[in-house]
Amino acid sequence: MLTLLLSFLRLDVLPHVEDPHEAWTAEQAMEQIRGQLRHLTGYVAQHMAEIADQLQGHEDVTVARR
């Protein structure tokens, strides 16, 4: 969800920001967030792998991510 929000901001909002410095500052902040998001995504993937056996049989209540 955060990735979608960051993409929306970059593609649909930032092009309309009139102050180039403000747009650059926002882009830099979002890049920092993306970096942290990569760590979080890695953690979640590792945790999901660790509990995969416990999740078997519950696929109908698990939301698939792409």
Predicted confidence (pLDDT) per residue in 11-43, tens digit: 999 999 999 999 999 999 999 998 888 888 889
Counts of helices then strands in the chain (DSSP H, E): 3, 0
Average pLDDT, the chain: 88
Q: How much is the average pLDDT of 42-53?
A: 90
Q: Cβ neighbours of residue 13 under 8 Å, at least 6 residues apart?
A: none
Can you give the pTM of this predicted structure?
A: 0.59
Q: How much is the average pLDDT of 43-66?
A: 82
pLDDT at position 11 = 93
- Cα separation, 47 vs 38, in Å, equals 14
Neighbour-count burial of 37, counting CB atoms closer than 10 A to its CB (0-12 exposed, 13-18 middle, 19+ buried): middle
